[in-house]
Chains A and B, each alone.
Chain A
Amino acid sequence: MKLLSRIEEIILLSIWRLDDGAYGMAIREEVIKATGKKWLLGAIYGPLGRLHKNGYVLTFQGEPTPERGGRSKVYYRLSREGIKALREIQRVNSVIWNGIEELEFKEE
């Protein structure tokens, strides 16, 4: 299985955290919170679309709301594959971070 990229990992985790409220805008807020940087919606949707295409996330529609021009919110949820991919990246992360306590620049 191909490893997730960093942004994919962050998005998938955001979706997991948001649980039932994971739609585009909310995911963006979550990503901004986690990274502390401004993310354009488009920047979120690029990877999100890819994740969807690869089957890591599932979508379902909510109620239409007026501030969306009558469109429904599209909610995202992790699929079985998505969970598996996250576990994998978690494993990789724990392996490579293992034993690293203090990360400082050493001056010679």
Chain B
Amino acid sequence: MDELIYTLKQQIIEALNLEDMKPEDIDENASLFGEGLGLDSIDALELIVLMEKNYGIKLKDPSQGKEIFKSVAVMADFIQKNRTK
């Protein structure tokens, strides 16, 4: 799980182009949207693309993202349970 979390952080940094950030800078339990990292609806769409591309998970409805993208840890847990690659 720790390995997945670390990889996921790297993938998030790349997908969202968080230029000056390193995986260590992201707290896996902190909120990704709003108060935490301050991401928005477009970032959520980027994360949907990331999950499909890297883990074969398709989200049809962007509003599902609200729960799944709560934090890196929640996202990793969802990926672990639903990944097809």
Chain A partners chain B: no
Which A residues contact B (CB, under 8 angstroms)? none
